[in-house]
Amino acid sequence: MELTHEEIDRVVAAALAEDVGSGDATTAALVPEDARCRAQLLLEEPGVVCGIPVAAAVFRALDPSVRVEAVLEEGSAITDVPAVVAEIEGPARAVLTGERVALNLVGRLCGIASLTRRFVDAAGDTGTKILDTRKTTPGLRALEKYAVRCGGGVNHRAGLYDAILVKENHVRLAGGIAPAVAALRERTNGLPVEVEAETLAQVREALEAGVPRILLDNMSPEQVAEAVALVAGQAELEASGGVSLDTVRAYAETGVDYVSVGALTHAARSLHVSLEVQ
């Protein structure tokens, strides 16, 4: 579940530039330059812990001497709240100036991890994996996909560059699934290939073309079950489109390999987190 320092630092730098600008006027006016403090980062509602390394990067960007010690592990599910997730100690100006950026990012990541965990729990022991999508907040994709992993989900492709996904408009422009797959031969550069199918006829066409993974787009659980029977293990299957917490179990019980859920990142609510100086 690791994030690279480069991924974190890029987001933190942009967020601090946006929030701090030319300086924290309130803190500079009220807090002595040499003041130090201790503080706690708290999760105020039940959910999954995620983003402590990101919060630590926020404070370290303002002052490298700030110490952030995690109390709870990333991915921990918390029901007894408020819960202390991290202890912070260091120059008071850095702690107060970084507070809002740290809370915004941690709250967002906890929210995504928590919603993902709900979908994973709903799928239960079916063996179906819950996938994210590219429906992420611009600039935050690496962090949000990390949060999905913390919640027990699995990442789909990171972007347009690391996998080939032939979608509806590609199929139309190529003249059909078979011509699209034929055109891909010798052009994949070793990237995994997946083709979107909207009907069982297209599933059959993709299967005959030798597609290793088929995305079942906006099909009902009943249609997905038919596709699973038709494919009979000859290709991986992913159900996608309009899946909710109320329906994900029905999709998972069809035997499909994956269910992708854009809502994990585009509809997750930020959890309430706070920072309290001791």
Catalytic residue of the set 217, 226, 236, 253 = 217
Q: Please indicate whether residue 34 is annotated as part of the active site.
A: no
Residue 241, token pair as written in the block: 């489109």
Smallest Cα–Cα separation from 56: which of 121, 19, 105, 116? Answer: 105
Q: Please indicate whether residue 135 is annotated as part of the active site.
A: yes
Three-state DSSP string of 28-40: HHHCCCCCEEEEE
Residue 246, judged by CB atoms within 10 A of its CB (0-12, 13-18, 19+), counts as: exposed
Catalytic residue of the set 10, 36, 100, 249 = 100
Residue 6, token pair as written in the block: 């480069």
Residue 119, token pair as written in the block: 């979908």
- Alpha-carbon gap, residue 115 to 168, rounded angstroms: 28
Q: Which residue has the tokens 């429906």?
A: 135
Catalytic residue of the set 36, 135, 204, 249 = 135
Q: Is 144 helix (H, G, I), strand (E, B) or coil?
A: helix
Catalytic residue of the set 73, 162, 167, 276 = 167
Q: Please indicate whether residue 213 is annotated as part of the active site.
A: no
Q: Please indicate whether residue 167 is annotated as part of the active site.
A: yes
- Alpha-carbon gap, residue 5 to 34, rounded angstroms: 28
Smallest Cα–Cα separation from 249: which of 161, 146, 117, 128? Answer: 128
Residue 76, token pair as written in the block: 């921990």
Q: Is 16 helix (H, G, I), strand (E, B) or coil?
A: helix
Q: Please indicate whether residue 100 is annotated as part of the active site.
A: yes
Q: Which residues participate in catalysis according to the annotation?
A: 100, 135, 167, 196, 217
